[in-house]
Structure 1
């Protein structure tokens, strides 16, 4: 029986990798081509928005379970140490561990450690629940504006330069108005002193 192994040691970029030695024959996974023709998508924790993976490690999706499957995630996903039996029917039971967010502890999904034959395609793959994650496509302008609120927008050098230019104009206008008021005051004093 072929099996997949998770390897974390020795990777410079702190990622978990699933080695490919299991055939996908008979799997229910639908590979909808994410990452092949489209811009890459980044996947984030649905609660704290910590990034944990991208569509370049896409392994497919399971529409029945509302899951996406990834071959690779970064160190922001914590793989549980206590396996438990999952599934309601005898033929779909498997031994799984929870996948949680390192930042907030939110449940992102699970990973099958042992499966019945019908679920072999999910063994040692990161099964992430769509309702518990967020995603955005790189280079998508509408996502960029939606992700950062106006008050929370980071201060950039370009933004600071623009603010300084506006402040200089306001200071100049204030000095001009102040000088004009002083002239009017002097004129009023001169006129009231002569009458």
Structure 2
């Protein structure tokens, strides 16, 4: 009976140890936030891109709404655009090739009235993936990658002067003059104190 209890207790201790054990990646995540694998995955991800009108620079969309691209048409497709893009009202015929004729409406920049691209409202079956997406012409939009800015101001501000040899020499000269002035004032103060002391002694 004592042997059975001992074995049961030994198994319970083993189970407790197994449950309490954790792998190194869990500990690393608790201590440092992200694991090495997650950081590598983050590095592989592209930063968001803002698309802007090439003429008036108004933002028209971003890569978070990306739907694809059409290299043959020199277009990018977005699921959503900003309010700076006006959707035209009149349909017109657009011939992708001899066998593919579509109905499209123009996409117009609200700021400068430039035609940025089109929306396909009616397509043959092989072009259904384009229908009712915002197709922007690469020639009419520019892009800006968020986080790509590199210029920074120093902690002291924009007017910080670079430490050149000439500047250093000037500062050292000014410090020497200030030191001499302080020493002269200290000597003068000692003379005044000595004169006062002599006056008190005579009294």
TM normalised by structure 1 equals 0.54
For these two proteins, the number of residue pairs brought into alignment is 117
Aligned to 1:38: 46
Residues 1:122 and 2:133 are matched in the alignment = no
Tell me the CA shift for residue 88 of structure 1.
Answer: 5.7
Q: Give ranges in structure 1 of 5+ residues lacking alignment.
A: 1-35, 146-157, 164-195
Q: Could you say what the CA RMSD is over the residues aligned between the two structures, in angstroms?
A: 2.7
**SS of the residue 1:104 aligns to:** coil
Counterpart CA distance in 2 for 1:38 and 1:83 is: 36
Tell me the CA shift for residue 91 of structure 1.
Answer: 2.3
**SS of the residue 2:81 aligns to:** strand
Counterpart CA distance in 1 for 2:58 and 2:109 is: 8
Counterpart CA distance in 2 for 1:131 and 1:90 is: 24
Aligned to 1:63: 71
Aligned to 1:178: none
Q: Give ranges in structure 2 of 5+ residues lacking alignment.
A: 1-43, 161-203
Q: Are the aligned partners of 2:122 and 2:131 in contact in 1 as well (CA < 8 Å)?
A: yes
Residues 1:98 and 2:101 are matched in the alignment = no
**SS of the residue 2:90 aligns to:** coil
Greater per-residue helix proportion: 2
Larger radius of gyration: 2
**SS of the residue 1:128 aligns to:** strand
Counterpart CA distance in 1 for 2:58 and 2:122 is: 28
TM normalised by structure 2 equals 0.52
- More relative contact order, 1 or 2 (CA 8 Å, 6+ apart): 1
Displaced runs of 4 or more, over 2 A: 88-91
